[in-house]
Structure formats: C-alpha cells, structure tokens
A and B are shown apart, each in its own frame.
Chain A
Amino acid sequence: MIDTTSVHRQAWDLIPWIVNGSAPESEWQAVQAHLESCADCREELEFQRQLHAAMAQQVTPEIDVRDSWQRLRSRLDMASEPGPAPARSARRRSRGIGKAAMPWLIAAMVVQAIGLAALGVAWWSRPVAPVALQPGSGAVYRTLSAPDAAPQAATIRVVFAPEITMAQVQAMLAAARLQVRAGPSDVGVWTLGPARDSNRAETEAALRELRASSQVRFAEALAGAP
C-alpha cells in the first residue's frame, strides 16, 4: 500500500527545486505524477512560481564594482608590503589604513628620492661646493614640497611577471619613458618615476603601456602622482 501522506510530503518538499530548475528529471516526473491528483501541491507550485518570478524582479542596489575592486586591490597591495598584516575587515578599516599610511609612504618615497638626488648632487658637485650654498645664508634646505623635486618623484608601482628578463624590463621602461626609483621589494614591487618632467596624462599613458604588456602582473599610479 502506498503511503499517500509520505508521497505528498516528498512532492511538497521538492516543489522549490522543481521551480528553480535544479531538481533532476526523475524527481520532476515523480512530482508531476503527484500533481495530477493533488490540488494542494498544484496550488503550492503556482504560488512558488509566483514567488520565484517576483524575487527575480527584485531590484539590486548599485555599487560601483570598479571602485570596490580598487579598494580590495589596495588592501591586497598593503598586505603584500613588508610589515604588519592589514586588518581582516575590508572597507572601513582598509580605508582607514590607506588614509593613515599612504601619506607616510609617499613622504618616505619622496624623502628617499630626494636623498638619492642629494647624494648625486653631492657626488658630482664636490669640486664646486659653493654652488650649493647661498652666500652668507648657510645651508640651503630643500622642503618636501619643493617643486624641483617633482621630476624625481615616484609615480607608479608595478609588479612584473616572474619570468621577465632585465633586458625586457629595460626595454619596457624605455618605451614608457620611466626609470626605476626603488625596488624590487621583497615581494617584487618596483617603484617607478618619469625619466623627465611629466604630467598626469603622461603618467596614465605610461600606465596603459605597462598594463598592456603580458609581462606586467600589476601596475598602479601612486596617490598624488602627477
């Protein structure tokens, strides 16, 4: 003897998976056989179809996927840098880290660039030391915001594919009119800057050129880059 209650319960349980199309054909056939004699299940099937259709029409909020991705990428970049790991929770905390850390990082890179430039100046200008001094005013101090530091500033960070050769790196940088400012870091991040004075459009053009290469895993403009 067939237990009709059990059959009904099984059919009733299967209805959502019939409606969403994930139930196998055999289950659909079993439910179909039961539907012929069960008004309750026919009504339930119709109700669930209405519910399914109504849920498909639900509006999804708009979130800019590119902005979201940039925030995640910044978080991954921060994690790949040497130092303490970033907080797990994404947005607010990673933004907080970004706001707090990025000016410091940029300042550190500018200081490093200026330091290298100063060493270069000191090296090449040793015989003409008075040029570096204002008569009667002592040493000349260069501030972090001094405009002539701009051509030396780092503008781009990039990670090359592991198999790239130095010759390829040099060719790529020459084509994009970039020079190495620092790196590679322990995790393979190179910091680049323009070979000569550049503006924002040139930085973006260089970025596009880098990103177009299959040998570049990742490239981004540094915050505040011209």
Chain B
Amino acid sequence: MSFPVPPKVPMPVRDDRLDRELLRLVAAQDSRALEHLYLEYHRRLLQFLSRLSSQRDALEEAINDTFWIVWRKAEEFRGDSRVSTWIMGIAWRCALKALRRNTDASAETLASSMPAELPSAESFAIEERSEWLAHGLATLPFEQRATLQLAYFVGHSCEEIAAIMDCPVNTVKARMFQARIKLRNLLPKLGGFADAKHLGGSQL
C-alpha cells in the first residue's frame, strides 16, 4: 500500500537570498528595503498572529514592534537561520509581550459566544467548520496554539519552530503532541471531523 505525497503548505516558501539582501540593506538603514520587507511579511505575520489574538490593535502593535526591532537589529543577523525564521522569532517574542495579556480575554470571548447546544455535524458548512476550528484553537494554551499555527499555517519545520520559539526541539514535539490530543477530543464534536476513536494512538 502507498500513500500520496502530502500537499504543499499553503504559505509559499520565501526566497531566502532575496530576504538576506533586503536585510543587508535594512542594516545599512535603507528605509525602502525595510518597507519592501514589511509589505512582503505583513500578511504572513498577520496570519500567524491573528490566531493568537483577535485584538486588532494588538496585532498591528505586535507587527510594528517586530519591524521596529528588525530595523534596529538587522546588523546583528548572523545568518544562522533563514531570514523568515529570524523575523518570525522576533514576532513570536513581540506576540508574547503584546498579545499574551489579551489572550485569555480573547479565548473567553470566543468561548462565551459558543451556543449552549451544539448542532449536528452534518449541518456544518465549510465556513462554519472554520469558525468552530477557531473556537477549538482558542481553547489551546498559547504555546500549543502558536506551535500548531507555525506548523500548519505558516509551514515551518519542527527545528525552525524551535528556533522561532527559542526552545528545544523536544519541547516543540511535546507541545504539538498535546495540541493534537486536545483537538482530537474537541474537534469531532465542534467541527464535524471524523470520530476520534483513537485519541493519539492506542499504542502510545
């Protein structure tokens, strides 16, 4: 039996050579290069950060804080990782500071907006499933949600996420493990996914 090769990640992989050249110009305080980098990364950062908070002001604050640091620290980039990993790492640290204080409130707001009685799985349209997925993600602890987001929405590898979140690879694996277990318990009820008969694998 063979299994199809998984589809490519939704976020296109950036050309690191171009990013490095832009960052070199930013290090020389070229504001046009910073603007170019900003416009290129804004949507990527917004997609990542918007899964961590629904606070619009906090999102823009975190994105602009990220590029404020990029502007000031570009010359300190040593090329140990891809530029995208370096920028996402800064965004993650900014998110921790700017968004964390809003996260609990956001999750509570999402949770309180959920109906008391869940409709049947068959009644969910794709849009509704997406909405329920957002509810499910909101119940995850901050680090687990960010890990899942970086992996599935941005397409980073386990090692890259460890660099972004400044933690050991095993911590990333553990966070992903916990997130998967929790979502397998939640999402079949919330979003019409297949029944979770084997929560994380019976042999684990």
Contact = CB atoms under 8 A, between A and B. Distances in A.
Interface string A76-90: 100000000000111
Most B C-beta atoms less than 10 A away, residue of A46, A48, A73, A90: A90
Interface string B41-67: 011001100110010110111111101
B163 interface: no
Contact of A13 (B46, B60, B173): B173
A214 to B, nearest CB: 10
A87 B29 CA distance: 20
B79 interface: no
Interface string A185-226: 000000000000000000000000000000001100000000
B31 A65 contact: no
Contacts of A46: 194
Interface string B171-193: 00100110010011001000101
A58 B153 contact: yes
B193 A88 contact: no
Interface residues of A, number: 59
B157 A17 contact: yes
A217 to B, nearest CB: 6
B65 A51 contact: no
A50 B193 contact: yes
Main secondary structure of the interface of A (DSSP, over half): helix
Interface residues of B, number: 69
A49 interface: yes
A68 B67 CA distance: 11
B46 A47 contact: no
Contact of B201 (A40, A61, A88): A40
Given A56-B153, A89-B61, A75 B193 contact: no
Most B C-beta atoms less than 10 A away, residue of A13, A46, A159: A13
Nearest to A32: B3
A146 interface: no
B123 interface: no
Contact of B152 (A20, A42, A47): A20
Interface of B: 1-3, 5-10, 30-32, 34-35, 38-39, 42-43, 46-47, 50-51, 54, 56-57, 59-65, 67-68, 71, 98, 126, 129-130, 133-134, 148-149, 151-153, 155-158, 160, 173, 176-177, 180, 183-184, 187, 191, 193-194, 196-198, 200-204
26 contacts: A13-B173, A16-B152, A16-B176, A17-B151, A17-B158, A20-B6, A21-B155, A22-B9, A22-B155, A41-B201, A50-B193, A50-B194, A51-B152, A51-B187, A56-B152, A57-B126, A58-B134, A60-B43, A61-B54, A61-B56, A63-B56, A68-B64, A69-B35, A72-B64, A89-B61, A92-B57
The 4 A-B residue pairs with the shortest CB-CB distance, nearest first, are A22-B157, A90-B64, A56-B10, A40-B201
Interface of A: 4-5, 8-9, 12-13, 16-23, 28, 32, 35-36, 38-52, 54-61, 63, 65, 68-69, 71-73, 75-76, 88-92, 94, 159, 217-218
